[in-house]
Chain A
């Protein structure tokens, strides 16, 4: 068996007790504290990005309006808001919360380890991330304002200050993104090695809970795809600041090169954030339907298949961007092929519900909501992946609605699912179910009301990132204006309902009912630790005897069978 260093966990506790508050919360190496750091930083930035979306949606629906809380929106501000809403939501909300926070919390607890294998690298990762956040926030206030060339940062617009008029902001923004990548590379290496090497005795590859697998695969995808963009970011920074001409066609460079560097990362990035959310869903639907996951190995294989295929499809973002049309055919084929593993995965999730005993608790509502809405994001992707239809739909609101139907379920619904599910473990308190359900419906319904209309405005020819549609007679019809206004009002309603969550979160944290060790009767290892788990997680680290989804096994008294129970 695996060699175990016999250093009992209570030694850690004693040492832990001596740590001051600063050491405990700010300089912590404990994976659970680092999870909270990532999670709360991510949520704070979600508030910023959510506020941005409110401002520009108001301008879009009611052009020239004096937006409450902001004032008049100038074109420059509008582009800055749009750019930073996208970049923050992906790089500073979805990634830190879904991968870094849940990864940090769940990987050691779910594989039965006392911490990450490199706790200090883990701390460094968060510190670099925090630095990137600060630099990002600084970029809003430099001369010329924040970066305003869209989150895709296409040159020559972003490469030359004379075109973008936000020379400093663009460079500062690039530095922030590069640092953020470094933070996640460090974190990702930690996740992967932890899951590979630090598993509890007896835990084979097929006993690892799906969510851990998904976070690990996502980290690997990130690592394998981000390299070219890091190189590209350096090249872009030199173009901006040192006068090189990597992307300047007049001096021998090529702007299309950036698009390839960017999307070679950008497409796998979608799966980087998707997979953890899908993993969280797997944990929740099995627990709340008391069912074994349908075809564990199929889920795993489809995830790996999706990951590998995601490296072959990137140019479908560039169909009409001037790439060679013959190449577009190849990328159409690969893009539609990727629908195969993803469809399989959705079928598996639906099949898991069959024969279950389903309880519609708040986490389960979120998980089911994830599947229902992600499906819309998935199927509308076919329109865009098919090159012929993409000629019309490219860069319209149809695209925007499509990717919000993937990213919103991932980043928001997935996060809420995970948070409501693991809240008892993280904080030792139960959340209020009634408020949780109000919050769910108050988010889920307005969300659909925002983006279903935007599919239509896209079909009707609304292009993205346009500050004021009144310049275009065909886009100023009453129908389009009503759709836009409806979407905006829904957004305001949805943002309002997030207050319910904040209220629920704070009150449950302070006065909530105390949670037992395993309130949901789940199998995975984290539920055998105390709620919340102490430093070191267990007094004695668990040993694993079976897979994570042995629910409702015939001829047993309980309908669950913890992974570490001997019999």
Chain B
């Protein structure tokens, strides 16, 4: 039981004051990024759209988390917590996507996809009774 003393060191529950950056400036950056993400699709290149849409979203989220939510002040634990949750979601995606996204698994097929009849607009004709392989 060595480190009893280290426990209550110096942290004060209340009265710590957050460093306040220039919020209006950050807001202006966020709006500029918003313009970028809206403008992205007009370039017409898919890769550019993806970057302006999702790259910019990540940057925006980072700016909000860092400056508005002060995650850096809130102790490292919170950063780890949020990252862990995101990691779990990534894991969920990785485990689930092969089944939901693929039209062919190593021992199954989705006949309606293969035949091209089923997309979200038009109901497929149910089971693939007539499917030729």
Contacts and interface: CB of A to CB of B under 8 A. Distances in A.
Q: Do A and B come from one complex?
A: yes
B84 to A, nearest CB: 7
Interface string A220-262: 0000110010000000000000000000011110101100110
B3 A327 contact: no
B107 A260 contact: no
Interface in A243-291: 249-252, 254, 256-257, 260-261, 264
A388 interface: no
Nearest to B9: A1
Interface stretch (B19-27, B34-42, B66-74, B89-97): B89-97
B99 A1 contact: no
A251 B92 contact: no
A315 B95 contact: yes
A267 to B, nearest CB: 11
Given A1-B8, A204-B3, A257-B96, A224 B105 contact: no
Contact of B107 (A202, A256, A325, A545): A325
Contact of A324 (B91, B92, B98): B98
Contacts of B95: 260, 264, 314-315, 327, 331
Interface secondary structure of A, over-half rule: helix
A325 to B, nearest CB: 5
B4 A202 contact: yes
A202 B2 CA distance: 11
A315 B8 CA distance: 43
A325 B1 contact: no
Given A251-B123, A257-B96, A260-B92, A324 B4 contact: no
A252 B91 CA distance: 24
A2 interface: yes
Contacts of B110: 249
Q: How large is the interface on A (under 10, 10 to 19, 20 to 34, 35 or more residues)?
A: 35 or more
B106 A326 contact: yes
Interface of A: 1-3, 201-204, 206-207, 224-225, 228, 249-252, 254, 256-257, 260-261, 264, 311-312, 314-315, 322-327, 331, 544-547
A250 B100 contact: no
B104 to A, nearest CB: 9
A434 to B, nearest CB: 40
Contacts of A250: 112, 118, 123-124, 126
Given A202-B7, A228-B92, A547-B1, A252 B108 contact: no
B120 interface: yes
A203 B91 CA distance: 35
Contacts of B126: 250
A324 B123 contact: no
B45 interface: no
Interface in B104-133: 105-108, 110, 112, 118-120, 123-124, 126
Given A207-B1, A224-B85, A324 B13 contact: no
6 contacts: A202-B4, A228-B92, A260-B95, A260-B96, A264-B92, A546-B1
B99 A260 contact: yes
Given A251-B118, A260-B99, 13 more contacts: A1-B8, A3-B13, A201-B7, A203-B7, A204-B1, A225-B88, A249-B112, A256-B100, A257-B96, A311-B88, A325-B106, A325-B107, A327-B95
Most buried by A among B92, B95, B120: B95
Contacts of B12: 3
Contacts of B88: 224-225, 311
A249 B99 CA distance: 13
A1 B5 CA distance: 9
A254 B100 contact: yes
A545 B106 contact: no
A204 B110 CA distance: 56
A292 to B, nearest CB: 12
A314 B4 CA distance: 39
Given A3-B13, A311-B88, A546-B1, A323 B124 contact: no
Nearest to A223: B85
Contacts of A224: 84-85, 88
B92 A323 contact: no
A364 B85 CA distance: 38
- Across the A-B interface, the 3 shortest Cβ-Cβ residue pairs: A252-B120, A260-B96, A324-B105
A201 B8 contact: yes
Nearest to B11: A2
A324 to B, nearest CB: 4
A567 to B, nearest CB: 13
B91 A204 contact: no
A80 B7 CA distance: 53
Contacts of B7: 201-204
Contacts of A331: 95
Interface string B71-85: 000000000000011
